[in-house]
Amino acid sequence: MKELFYMATWFFAARLLGRKKPLQTVLAILNKCNLTCLHCSEYQRENPIVKSYEQIREELSYAYQTGSRIIDFQGGEPMLWRDGEHDLNSLIHLAKQMGFYSVSITTNALLPFQGLKADIVWVSLDGLGDYHDAIRGKGAFEKLIANITSCGHKNLSVNMVVNTLNYTSVEETISFVRDHPNIKAIAINFHTPRPATDYLFLDWEVRGQVIDKVLQMKRAGYPVMNSASGLRLMKSNNFKKQCWISGYILPDGSRYEECPGKLVGLCERCGYTMAGEMKCVFDLRPDTIISGIKMRLK
């Protein structure tokens, strides 16, 4: 009830009073990783940043004070994070102790994660078999499946970033998610081009075709987490962004009140479907709100 009341008052203040306070914060705790994915611009091979427990405590406190009540720990690869006796569960416990309602982890699932106490686990799955491995490295898919199967987490979903190398695997990946007993749902995103990764950007016509297929499968009952309203907006990206709903804290400690992609001109070709979801939440679209509630139910 406390969480629902906070969400209601947040929406009233944002929609009617024009107050811009984030609901969630994406907090990168390191840029160290055990993969070298083709599309990634976050990991550092040499001298990676691994934040201390105390630095993350201070950043969580800052995020809470801005209004965030949902935290997503990201990397790099979060499962690599350690600081003395503290591990990832220490950070989850800390966030809960501070008052965050929901804590999620985004992982490449290359390492086992049994016993992870996050409310939601997001696993990056970029297609089946060779499609995934072509982007993330040989053998990555096999390890991912083994660790998903053995993890025992009750609220695990996968995130697929669609690009020129894997778009033909979208349909089979959604079908795989439906049939896997340990996966709750799939979220679809599209590659957002950065320097040296422009070749992965899916042109608008093909993106529209992929979205139409995803919508068709969603209507047929497949476990697609994206709302229909949010997906439709992403066909053209021609909508007013409300990306301030999420704050960002990067590995180097930089803090942003909205998606930092805006500062480097990524909005026009943005593939983060959360942009469409946030716009639909702000516009009080029922299907988007229902999708968000389902995501957070264990």
Whether residue 6 is predicted with pLDDT greater than 90 in this model: the reply is: no
pLDDT range class, residue 44, cuts 50, 70, 90: low
Is the pLDDT assigned to residue 43 strictly greater than 70?
Answer: no
Distances (CA, A) of 42 to 174, 194, 260, 275, 294: 27, 11, 13, 20, 29
Instruction: Give the DSSP letter string of 126-158.
Output: -SSTHHHHHHH-TTHHHHHHHHHHHH--SSEEE
What length does the chain have?
Answer: 298
The pLDDT value recorded for residue 212 is: 98
Contact between residue 148 and residue 180 where contact means Cβ atoms under 8 Å apart: yes
Q: Domain boundaries in the chain?
A: 22-296
pLDDT tier at 296, thresholds 50, 70, 90: low
What whole-number distance in Å separates Cα of residue 238 and Cα of residue 215? 19
Residue 121 predicted with pLDDT over 80: yes
pLDDT at 18: 82
Which tens digit of pLDDT belongs to each residue from 245-285? 899 999 999 999 888 888 888 889 999 999 999 899 888 88
pLDDT over 90 for what percent of the chain? 75
- The highest-level CATH class for domain 22-296 is alpha beta
Q: How far apart are CA 245 and CA 68, in angstroms?
A: 9
Q: What is the pLDDT of residues 45-86, one digit of tens each?
A: 778 999 999 999 999 999 999 999 999 999 999 999 999 999
Nearest CA among 131, 97, 134 for reference residue 117:
97
Are residues 40 and 194 in contact, defined by beta-carbon separation less than 8 angstroms? no
Asked if residue 211 has pLDDT above 90, the reply is: yes
What is the predicted pLDDT for the residue at 292?
A: 76
Residue 223: φ, ψ to 5°: -80, 65
Q: For position 20, what pLDDT does the model report?
A: 87
> What is the mean predicted confidence (pLDDT) over 230-255?
93
Residue 126 has pLDDT above 90, yes or no: yes
- Calculate mean pLDDT across residues 115-127: 97
Using one digit for the tens of pLDDT, what is the confidence trace for 130-148? 999 999 999 999 999 999 9
Residue 177 CB contacts under 8 Å (≥ 6 apart), including other chains? 158, 183, 185, 186, 222, 223
Taking phi over 0 as left and psi of -120 to 50 as alpha, with beta for the rest, 100 belongs to: beta
H/E segment holding residue 98: helix 88-98
- Find, among 162, 108, 175, 152, the residue nearest to 298 by Cα: 152
Please give the model's pTM, rounded to 2 decimal places.
Answer: 0.92
